[in-house]
Structure 1
Amino acid sequence: MFKKLFSIILLFFAVNASAQCAMCKAVVEGGNETIAEGVNNGITYLMVFPYILVGLLFYFIYRHKKGTKN
């Protein structure tokens, strides 16, 4: 159990990865660093919420399962 929890926590503190779709990459390769940073920040911002929602879902499932055992 501790290993799973540690792995999940580690995922939240992972180093930022700069990944883009093909169109975003073409725009970023134009050379303007502020635009590139903005695109990467936007992608990171959009990807945070699905992970939070999935994490909350698993938390509530865990809490529900733990409550039904007693």
Structure 2
Amino acid sequence: MKQLFLFLVALLGSTASMAQCAMCKTTIVNNVSNGELALADGLNFGIMYLFVTPYLSIAVIAAIWFYRYKQHGKKKRRPSFA
């Protein structure tokens, strides 16, 4: 039952997202054909912002984790006596 529910949610969600993309595309095409490029530039910037933000966040978290891990490893080392 749970799998059927998840399948229906995924199916209905994808239909709505495809319709939204078609509306955005139509709006952009109409504005560009009328010589208004500001909306297209803004949409392109928004898409790039949404594309880069998750990767940048993951990179920052990974860098912080890496440097803290290295610092933590240096503090715990004890000199070995042979």
Shift of 1:54: 1.0
How big is the shift at 1:22?
2.2
| Structure-2 residue corresponding to 1:15 | none
Higher helix proportion (structure 1 or 2): 2
- What residue is the counterpart of 1:64 in the other structure? 68
| TM-score scaled by length of structure 2 | 0.45
1:47 to partner: Cα distance = 3.1
Segments of 5+ residues of structure 2 without an aligned counterpart are 1-19, 75-82
How much does 1:57 deviate? Answer: 0.5
Give the corresponding residue for 2:21: 22
Q: Which has the larger radius of gyration?
A: 2
**Aligned-CA RMSD value:** 2.2
Which deviates more from structure 2 when the two are superposed, residues 53-62 or residues 37-46? Answer: 37-46
Are 1:53 and 2:30 counterparts? no
Deviates more, 1:57-66 or 1:25-34: 25-34
In the TM superposition, residue 29 of structure 1 has moved relative to its aligned partner by 2.0
Distance in 2, matches of 1:50 and 1:44, equals 11
Cα deviation, residue 31, structure 1: 4.1
Q: Matches of 2:26 and 2:73 in 1, distance apart?
A: 54
Distance apart, 1:61 and its partner CA: 1.2
1:64, distance to aligned residue in structure 2 (A): 1.9
| Structure 1: gaps spanning 5 or more residues | 1-20
